[in-house]
Amino acid sequence: MKFHNKLIDWYLVNARDLPWRKTQDPYPIWLSEIMLQQTRISQGLPYFFKFIEEFPTVFHLANASEDQVLKLWQGLGYYSRARNLHSTAKHVAYNLNGIFPSTYKELKTLKGVGDYTASAIASFCYREPVAVVDGNVYRVLSRFFGIDTPINSTEGIKEFKTLAQKLLDKKQPHIYNQAIMEFGALQCSPKSPDCNSCPLQANCVAFQQDLIQSLPRKLKKTKVQEKFYNYLVIVDSKENVLIEKRTGNGIWKNLYQFPLIESPKDCNLPKDLISFDENKISQEILQKASLYNEEPIKHVLSHRKLWVKFWVIKIENLNFIENLSKSFIMTNQIDTFAVPVVIEKFIDTYGFSK
């Protein structure tokens, strides 16, 4: 039996019941694919339902503000996906009359849509015979064929795409693509694959040569940078708190945060904050800072490890902000703003009045 037939037979028995598999409408399929980039289905599924309820069509999403989109996305991470999602929704709604492109080549022109997402939408919605290659597909192909070319190398990306396209069931690409991804997620999983009941076991090079744990191979990642973040939670007598909107091109672009003092080392005393303060908050204010968490919170991002401390500063009023950057704003509704997850968790535990 051919490779693709075995996978499809397995899939028809083991496929999970997921909402985007019940439609050919490109909007929910596109939405799900963007959400599930570098995200487990169990984590992404609640967000998918929230977005579909809040934005049932691409027009609803396009007409929302970026702040609304980021707030709904909060906690899912990789926020550039949300910004690209919103940008593409506006392009499809306003420039394409709500109609998504129908070919792989045209889909790749959309912001935030790369080879994998374009292949998925083109095959699932329009039955175009283009192979998907995601982390699950890399793993299945690498193990089955015993390929040790690093999957994150230029050579590896080209090699696996060519092989995936060669193996594709051209008559039913939508089913085959779903099958190989699902197989990688459930059967040929990263750390504990179920080799004993695997229908591909007899011809799997990795199984036969005891290479399961060493494949697929990856080039070493960029060294992780360590940073020390000190957030100043400045609260007045009416429970107004000071926040600002992040700018620049970082991963938290356009999310909100408390005033931040980034330091080259761990800070334990208010005097430490004063020496590293670039916002020019008065020494009188900073001297009132009280540590909320003495042990820093470790927050790991793709190429960065953050050590986060929150400093609570209670004052009578926030009038001093007139002397600061105009980016600072006062609010007593902090829970309505889109913030990084590490700040969201602090807000939940601190207990601001709502």
Q: Is 208 exposed, middle or buried (0-12, 13-18, 19+ CB in 10 A)?
A: exposed
Which of 33, 128, 182, 244 is catalytic? The answer is 33
Give SS3 for 246: coil
Determine whether 322 is an active site residue. no
CA distance 150 to 339: 36
CA atoms within 13 A on the CB side of 246: 18
Q: Is 345 exposed, middle or buried (0-12, 13-18, 19+ CB in 10 A)?
A: middle
| DSSP class of 149 | S
CA distance 156 to 147: 9
CA distance 292 to 347: 12
CA distance 29 to 257: 32
Place of tokens 């939408």: 121
- Length of the chain in terms of residues written: 354
CA distance 301 to 324: 30
Go through 272-284 and write b for each residue having 16 or more CB atoms within 10 A of its CB, e for each that does not.
bbbeebeeebeee
Q: Is 67 exposed, middle or buried (0-12, 13-18, 19+ CB in 10 A)?
A: middle
The catalytic site residues sit at 33
